[in-house]
Amino acid sequence: MKKLLMLSYYFPPLGMGGTQRSMKMVRYLPAYGWEATVITVKPIAYWAQDPSLLDEIPSARVIRTGSFDPQRLLKLARPAENTTATAISGKKRSLFNWINRRVLPFFLLPDSKILWHGHACAAAARLLRQEEFAAVYSTSPPHSVHVTARRLARKFNLPWVADFRDAWAGSVVVHEPTRCHHALQQRWQKKIIRSADAVIAVTPGILKTLRGNDPNNKYHFIPNGFDENDFVQPPAARKNGFQICHCGSITTFSDPRPVLQAFARLQTSDPVAAEDLALRFVGYDTFSAFPEWVAALQLQTKVTCSGYVTHPQALAEMQAADALLLIACHEQAADFIPGKTYEYLGSRKPILLVSNIPDTLALLKEMPGVLICHPQDSAGISAALLQLKTDARLRDAAQRRPLQLYERNYQAAQLAQILNTLTLQR
């Protein structure tokens, strides 16, 4: 069994899709000859906590280190509190987010997690001196984790795989206060890409941006995915009527207001057909305004929101639904596919996609049992919501989706093959 050193800042018991990607790799890599040791951060102030994810990797070695980054320091300042989004509320949370997203990018590059670099590097170096590892793997965001991996790979002469779950320089998820900051981010990105022995991206758009005009064959596409084994648990209790479920956080990238407005329009234009339709939102509301939006449209009896739940609970809600709603929107050009997309596909439920994101549209256009609308097409969204209930062909089509590329076990085999190739070249 070959040993892999994995650097992953976001890792269980933290929740969300990024932590699941790392955790699932740890879970399935041993079947392909690789055992991962994870270097991650000690508890931080983070709104999504899901200890149940650790149950899937009970024997994995996870080394947690300190850090001077804001999320770690905030947790240290409030050791007796659960510093999730619920505990850090109102003005304090807004101030913390503003400082972290808008102020610190002026001073800390590639991001504020560069303040984890010293701790992570020291812990990894001690381990690499004591044991023989065959390769290093780093996954971002935060993109600063690749700075640490680059240093370790060079110092200990190990092959290194850099995995990108988000785009970097010039992307909508990285705040670049000035042109100078953009230039510096581009410089960092080029340095990391040039140094890595293999580069993985989760979307074709991100991969294309990272590759540029480089003819090297070190670039690989391994999307986010789903685990077939996660769908064996019993679904949540079903409710009366036809329920359409949105699983995932409510953010600027998944703004539900166009759908809520279209749903309200349907209640008025065809109340008989829409009588037994209901919308269920499962996930954290980053706007803290969802109840007000629902009340303003007089949809309180038709729309519910659970707030954040654990991954098993979210999957149970997904399985209990009759159809699923996926929202992926942004005003600027963006390269992303929501991580939950693949579990949506794996559920084999009919899906309504409301999106203007090219990568997301390209993926879902090829999948059976999917209806697609533009966010500004209110009439189209209204009609699609009704079609989910009335068109039985959608349910049949959803069962025929080609999904091997998106299964976690298969993706672990892909990563193992990349690692095997790199180690043979050394």
pLDDT value of position 8: 98
Identical fold between 2-225+407-425 and 228-402:
yes
Mean pLDDT of 309-318: 93
Question: Which of residues 334 and 342 earns the better pLDDT score?
Answer: 342
Q: Under CATH, which number does the domain 228-402 receive?
A: 3.40.50.2000
Q: What confidence tens digit (pLDDT) does each residue in 7-16 have?
A: 999 999 999 8
Read off the tokens for 392: 């039985």
On the question of pLDDT at 83 being above 60, the answer is no
CATH assignment of 2-225+407-425, given 3.40.50.2000, 3.30.1490.20, 3.20.20.370, 1.10.220.150?
Answer: 3.40.50.2000
Domain map of the chain by residue range?
2-225+407-425, 228-402
What's the pLDDT band for 92 if we cut at 50, 70, 90? Answer: low
Q: What confidence tens digit (pLDDT) does each residue in 376-426 have?
A: 999 999 999 999 999 999 999 999 999 999 999 999 999 999 999 999 987
Question: What does pLDDT average to over the chain?
Answer: 93
On the question of pLDDT at 101 being above 80, the answer is no
Q: What confidence tens digit (pLDDT) does each residue in 173-185 have?
A: 898 999 999 999 9
Q: What confidence tens digit (pLDDT) does each residue in 263-286 have?
A: 999 999 999 989 999 999 999 998
Smallest Cα–Cα separation from 202: which of 14, 414, 9, 351? 414
pLDDT value of position 9: 98
Smallest Cα–Cα separation from 17: which of 339, 360, 410, 338? 339
DSSP letter at 59 equals T
pLDDT value of position 18: 86
What percentage of the chain reaches a pLDDT higher than 90?
A: 85
Neighbours of 316 (CB within 10 A): 18
3-state helix, strand, coil in the chain (%, to 5): 45, 20, 35
On the question of pLDDT at 87 being above 70, the answer is no
